[in-house]
Structure 1
């Protein structure tokens, strides 16, 4: 069961976040400090939070500016929705309810969390539940029949109480259960020769059973809601753990969740309790007084010594295994192949040591905060992954902020690995926690003013430019890093051009189709007029370079620039129009994929399919802008295309689109 769409309302800084889509593996909330990212994550957690999470409390969780609404009685917590999340059902979920209802892949269930901590639901694609109105008349007639045949007063009273229900109320849950109970009592009182009444009884029973089947299926699905685990700062693993003290606190029930949680996770990872390790530290069994003279005592003691030695060996091997596992995790992110983590049992203390390339051992607290954070993260996650966090949805609030920028980039890969088994939503304001290839995963958290509250946008165009600064910085960093890293380089006009080229090239490579050879760097110049400058810089570094220009007015001017004409051979100045099967006047890169983009634009609310089909020689972006105006965004269209081709693959493009791509790759490969 995975979240596909979510919305947060009436929670702290969030008045109404509006609906936003959630990706199957990883979704990134990007926004400035105080934009409300934490509030969104914590509200979502309330759908199915861990046991130690405090329940919702209107005094602390309802927007403070509206608190008087509850205190005056204008509203009650039971009518205030805090969060809702729509879940797509897995094959296992559908199989779990197959005995109750048959569902196809389009069926979804939405869970609604209210401020009184009540969890309600709505469904899509489920069999429709009958309403009380469908059985009202039959119940009245059945009641009349039973009254005429001296039925018990308690049964008649129950039927009278049932009759007070609203006709539009679904025939499910408690209502259906009460009706079925009354029917069971009534059955022996109905003359089996009376076909009219037995048919009436069977009709009511069938509708009540049908209604209860949906509610029973929902009850099963409720037990299968993934745990939503919120992490703000990962619990710290202490460099030195006093085993006797921790064991005593556990036995007294005096464990401090914030202080001890990381330590308990480390012990869980090792497979020992604090008491077990503490007992081993007390030494081997003491030799009894009659050891030399009593054979039975000697035998019993020798067995105890062997068992103790075996426990010591087990401790050593398990500590070593955990050390190796954590070392591998750390090396993957930290990038130091000489790094080694050692977990050592030293008397009544369990110590976490770090060994450097010289073999020097230091305790964990002598390393940087970022390093300690990373160790704690892996300990907590590794220990929990096989239990509560297996299949859980992880809500990570500003992860990795104490890591160096380059380490954040590596940690981003770790989050992607975690996303293979756990759906992840994480927030950040760091440009190094967002990759240029992850823009389709980004949701912008924005708060223009406190009155409007936090909004979550799937589009990258927002009113506050600070909100998208991390994305701009991420793109700028990626561009700077890639500028001179490749021997072969293709300069295009804009960033969206780069998105199309990279996403289609990745999809075609995955299917073994036409692809750009030798992995050329694709560099957006920003505008057509700057293409010549970029090409000059690359040529000056003795790097191979080609230019891809739109076939519009700006592209024509750029192609005629003296610097570009003198610098590049004709075959290295590529024009989009040269690759199209049907000529388009002023063609842009979007026209290479115009049929697919017409469908995608329709899904975005810009339906111009008829015009695009009727005017094949007119640029698609010109058509969309003319018919839909300001809402049309090249960024949003390119982002949606990246998601589409990532899901559907290269082969889903039309034949003309694949042919255009094949011609383009052939021309680029020849030019470079």
Structure 2
């Protein structure tokens, strides 16, 4: 795309065979990319390009003063790969076009459409036949009665350069001249007949390619654009809509969804309106109520009402089926109900209560509107349409966005789909190769589309980061039994000890996962998430002030009971005040830190045996890090045996691991 609203030059955008995702922040130009692309072949009721509205506003004076002619401004170009069947169509019309593999369409700002077959040869030039014509003229000059034919050729090629294309009037006149020259060639002269065939093929290439292009142009798919602005209204006043339609006063954003609904029914607003007020009146028919004319009119009116009823019912069933697949509610039912001059869209809940569409959630209304517009536009000859979806499912709940993503994948089996989004739930982590990043670093540079995930603005890839983060978070729910620790270092110690003690057959059961919370106060949130997924959970809390506060939370006690809330004080020396996980390994850590890290606190630790060891390290060691201490212990334990821990430490760890197994049994 070029020279369209926020797009100065988008760069080449590679579109996937089935589904392509355009991801970017607000105001990056995602909508502009889709609406420009739609103009390659848009439905009849879509507004065409307007220089005033669509040319970049900051440069519109270029058009005003005539520096840019709309007919020279190529806004969007699309390259289509041809199928084998389409290549056969090309060869049928133009046997010489064996190099054709793609069809390129170009839409200009004046709405003209031009095309070519990419790098394939479209027409011959005069240089291709110049030698053959010279030799044919020499041959003809020896034939009796050929003077006029030779003179006609001289006149035809006069002033032609080697680059003159064999197209238009020149090619047509050359073909006519060949017809006059053919009788002068001996029937048995194979050499001259071959020369004649070569010249004719070159002169006819332009017309043949044009015919082939016309055949392929008919097969270009329609580009169907859908935006959340296209909403189906819960009550459509038929007579009012019919008047606006007749007067050409349609508001595309307000009326488009309603018109699509009527198109889905195969009825116009005027037809439905007339049905509502078209009941036969006896006085208007000879013989009154008993007259044959009145009886016939009643039957005809009833037949029309029945037809309307069946169409409404069929559309209701079709829409209900589609919505149930995504909404996940087998009881929800949609009905299209005529009510005088109104056509109402109502939803029936699981107990049979009917409510109008606008009384349901924004997400549900969006879903109904999407399926109405899509099904209305993707009927019959639109079956293979390319779907351009602008921010689909934005008002849906995160889980329903994930379900709708599956719906888009199903649609892409028959319809190539391009959709924009900035929601991480509309991007699957297995679809990152389908993502194109749309960004606009500055208005001067305009909108750019990157095929690779390399961008100038880090915000552009945030939805992808969030999608990956969400999938990583989902791994929390991979095991049925989970021990929630206060933090990363707590998990590191338990994991290292479990590995070592498993070799002694005293470790955790293999089905237990360790889940680190970022602090004691957040343990409750992790436990809530795990238990809400019907998973077993236990918590290991330090016995410091933060751990005590967390352990006394009513919500945590209610979710786990005291049996599943484990405290470090129960496995450490009883003389230590407010022990943390490190106090479980107090003596070993003091010696290990001295020998491995050069942190010598042996004297202070011996003199202050009741003080938590982490407090001592923090006070005595400049630049102390719990993480660094934990990493050093993991390395130490990997090089030592369980027996190298003190007897009290071994006993405490063994009891802790046994209690975790018991709590999560």
So what's the TM-score if we normalise by structure 2? Answer: 0.65
Aligned ranges 1:219-238 → 2 under 5 Å: 219-238=214-233
2:269 is equivalent to residue 271 of structure 1: no
Provide the rounded CA distance (Å) in 2 between the counterparts of 1:398 and 1:80.
Answer: 28
Provide the rounded CA distance (Å) in 2 between the counterparts of 1:60 and 1:352.
Answer: 35
User: SS of the counterpart of 2:117?
Assistant: strand
Provide the rounded CA distance (Å) in 2 between the counterparts of 1:283 and 1:79.
Answer: 53
Partner in structure 1 of residue 354 of structure 2? 361
Per-residue displacement from partner, 1:524-583 (whole Å, max 9, x unpaired)? 99xxxxxxxxxxx9999599xxxxxxxxxxxxx9997578999xxxxxxxxxxxxxxxxx
Provide the rounded CA distance (Å) in 1 between the counterparts of 2:156 and 2:254.
Answer: 57
Partner in structure 1 of residue 107 of structure 2? 113
CA distance change for structure 1 residues 110 and 364 in 2, over 3 Å: closer, same or farther? same
Provide the rounded CA distance (Å) in 1 between the counterparts of 2:167 and 2:434.
Answer: 39
User: SS of the counterpart of 1:83?
Assistant: strand
Per-residue displacement from partner, 1:162-182 (whole Å, max 9, x unpaired)? x55553355456653443244
Q: How far is the alpha carbon of 1:379 from its aligned partner? A: 0.9
| Farther off after superposition, 466-475 or 134-143 | 134-143
User: SS of the counterpart of 2:473?
Assistant: helix
User: SS of the counterpart of 1:27?
Assistant: strand
User: SS of the counterpart of 1:483?
Assistant: helix
- Decide which of 355, 362, 367 is 1:374's aligned counterpart: 367
Partner in structure 1 of residue 156 of structure 2? 159
Partner in structure 2 of residue 407 of structure 1? 400
Instruction: Answer yes or no: is the 8 Å Cα contact 1:151–1:189 preserved in 2.
Output: no
User: SS of the counterpart of 1:272?
Assistant: coil
Instruction: Answer yes or no: is the 8 Å Cα contact 2:480–2:536 preserved in 1.
Output: no
CA distance change for structure 1 residues 288 and 261 in 2, over 3 Å: closer, same or farther? same
Provide the rounded CA distance (Å) in 2 between the counterparts of 1:216 and 1:235.
Answer: 38
Partner in structure 2 of residue 444 of structure 1? 437
Instruction: Answer yes or no: is the 8 Å Cα contact 1:38–1:397 preserved in 2.
Output: yes
Partner in structure 1 of residue 477 of structure 2? 484
User: SS of the counterpart of 1:437?
Assistant: coil
Instruction: Answer yes or no: is the 8 Å Cα contact 2:226–2:370 preserved in 1.
Output: no
Instruction: Answer yes or no: is the 8 Å Cα contact 1:190–1:198 preserved in 2.
Output: no
- Decide which of 337, 343, 349 is 1:344's aligned counterpart: 337
User: SS of the counterpart of 2:382?
Assistant: coil
Structure 2 gaps, min length 5: 483-510, 517-528, 540-630, 641-665
Per-residue displacement from partner, 1:327-352 (whole Å, max 9, x unpaired)? 22222222333322111111222111
- Decide which of 316, 319, 322 is 1:326's aligned counterpart: 319
Instruction: Answer yes or no: is the 8 Å Cα contact 2:21–2:419 preserved in 1.
Output: yes
Aligned ranges 1:507-526 → 2 under 5 Å: none
Q: How far is the alpha carbon of 1:158 from its aligned partner? A: 7.3
Partner in structure 2 of residue 37 of structure 1? 30
Q: How far is the alpha carbon of 1:131 from its aligned partner? A: 2.4
Aligned ranges 1:259-658 → 2 under 5 Å: 259-282=254-277, 284-287=279-282, 298-387=291-380, 389-487=382-480, 541=537
Instruction: Answer yes or no: is the 8 Å Cα contact 2:476–2:515 preserved in 1.
Output: no
* RMSD over aligned Cα atoms: 4.3
Partner in structure 1 of residue 147 of structure 2? 149
How many residues get paired?
A: 500
Q: How far is the alpha carbon of 1:24 from its aligned partner? A: 0.7
CA distance change for structure 1 residues 108 and 352 in 2, over 3 Å: closer, same or farther? same
Instruction: Answer yes or no: is the 8 Å Cα contact 1:227–1:393 preserved in 2.
Output: yes
Instruction: Answer yes or no: is the 8 Å Cα contact 1:228–1:392 preserved in 2.
Output: yes
Instruction: Answer yes or no: is the 8 Å Cα contact 1:240–1:350 preserved in 2.
Output: yes
Q: How far is the alpha carbon of 1:30 from its aligned partner? A: 0.5
Per-residue displacement from partner, 1:575-607 (whole Å, max 9, x unpaired)? xxxxxxxxxxxxxxxxxxxxxxxxxxxxxxxxx
Provide the rounded CA distance (Å) in 1 between the counterparts of 2:122 and 2:275.
Answer: 62
Instruction: Answer yes or no: is the 8 Å Cα contact 2:5–2:56 preserved in 1.
Output: yes
Instruction: Answer yes or no: is the 8 Å Cα contact 2:100–2:120 preserved in 1.
Output: no
Q: How far is the alpha carbon of 1:77 from its aligned partner? A: 4.2
Partner in structure 2 of residue 49 of structure 1? 42
Provide the rounded CA distance (Å) in 1 between the counterparts of 2:244 and 2:67.
Answer: 47
Instruction: Answer yes or no: is the 8 Å Cα contact 1:392–1:423 preserved in 2.
Output: yes
Per-residue displacement from partner, 1:360-414 (whole Å, max 9, x unpaired)? 2222222333322221111111122114632111222222223333332222222
Instruction: Answer yes or no: is the 8 Å Cα contact 1:96–1:220 preserved in 2.
Output: yes
Q: How far is the alpha carbon of 1:261 from its aligned partner? A: 2.5
CA distance change for structure 1 residues 105 and 434 in 2, over 3 Å: closer, same or farther? farther
CA distance change for structure 1 residues 61 and 289 in 2, over 3 Å: closer, same or farther? closer
Provide the rounded CA distance (Å) in 2 between the counterparts of 1:460 and 1:564.
Answer: 40
Per-residue displacement from partner, 1:495-517 (whole Å, max 9, x unpaired)? xxxxxxxxxxxxxxxxxxxxxxx
CA distance change for structure 1 residues 78 and 383 in 2, over 3 Å: closer, same or farther? closer
Per-residue displacement from partner, 1:189-223 (whole Å, max 9, x unpaired)? 85768969776544321222344333321222122
2:215 is equivalent to residue 217 of structure 1: no
Per-residue displacement from partner, 1:61-118 (whole Å, max 9, x unpaired)? 3444544555565554444432222211124423433412467898222223344444
Q: How far is the alpha carbon of 1:259 from its aligned partner? A: 3.2
Provide the rounded CA distance (Å) in 1 between the counterparts of 2:245 and 2:68.
Answer: 43
Q: How far is the alpha carbon of 1:255 from its aligned partner? A: 4.1
Partner in structure 2 of residue 180 of structure 1? 175
Partner in structure 1 of residue 163 of structure 2? 168
Q: How far is the alpha carbon of 1:443 from its aligned partner? A: 0.6
CA distance change for structure 1 residues 15 and 272 in 2, over 3 Å: closer, same or farther? closer
CA distance change for structure 1 residues 151 and 79 in 2, over 3 Å: closer, same or farther? same
Q: How far is the alpha carbon of 1:430 from its aligned partner? A: 1.4
2:93 is equivalent to residue 100 of structure 1: yes
2:246 is equivalent to residue 247 of structure 1: no
- Decide which of 99, 124, 132 is 2:126's aligned counterpart: 132
Provide the rounded CA distance (Å) in 1 between the counterparts of 2:98 and 2:206.
Answer: 19
| Larger-gyration structure (1/2) | 2
Instruction: Answer yes or no: is the 8 Å Cα contact 2:481–2:537 preserved in 1.
Output: no
Provide the rounded CA distance (Å) in 2 between the counterparts of 1:403 and 1:114.
Answer: 37
Instruction: Answer yes or no: is the 8 Å Cα contact 1:45–1:228 preserved in 2.
Output: yes
Provide the rounded CA distance (Å) in 1 between the counterparts of 2:370 and 2:637.
Answer: 53
Provide the rounded CA distance (Å) in 2 between the counterparts of 1:263 and 1:412.
Answer: 25
Instruction: Answer yes or no: is the 8 Å Cα contact 2:479–2:513 preserved in 1.
Output: no
Q: How far is the alpha carbon of 1:235 from its aligned partner? A: 2.0
